[in-house]
Amino acid sequence: MEIDTEVRNKLVSEAKTLKKIYSEVMSGYISSLEKAVSVEELLLLKRWLLLNLVGYLPVTSNNCYFCYLYKEKDCNGCQYAKYHGKCESRFSDWMKISKSYLRLLNAVDKYYDGETYE
DSSP code at position 72: G
Euclidean distance between CA atoms 105 and 80, whole angstroms: 25
- Its domain, for residue 45, covers 5-109
Task: Say if 44 falls within a structural domain.
Answer: yes
Task: Say if 116 falls within a structural domain.
Answer: no
Task: Say if 118 falls within a structural domain.
Answer: no
Is the distance from CB of 50 to CB of 107 less than 8 angstroms? no
Task: Say if 42 falls within a structural domain.
Answer: yes
What average pLDDT does the chain have?
94
- B/e letters for 83-99, b = 16+ CB within 10 Å, e = fewer, are ebbbbeeeebebbeeee
Task: Say if 63 falls within a structural domain.
Answer: yes
Task: Say if 114 falls within a structural domain.
Answer: no
Kindly report the pTM of this predicted structure: 0.86
Task: Say if 35 falls within a structural domain.
Answer: yes
Of all residues in the chain, what percent carry a pLDDT higher than 90?
82
Under the banding of pLDDT at 50, 70 and 90, the label for residue 75 is confident
Task: Say if 91 falls within a structural domain.
Answer: yes
Work out how many domains the chain is built from and give that number.
Answer: 1
Helix axes 5-35, 39-55, angle to 10 degrees: 180
Euclidean distance between CA atoms 75 and 85, whole angstroms: 10
Q: Which pLDDT score, from 0 to 100, does residue 81 have?
A: 92
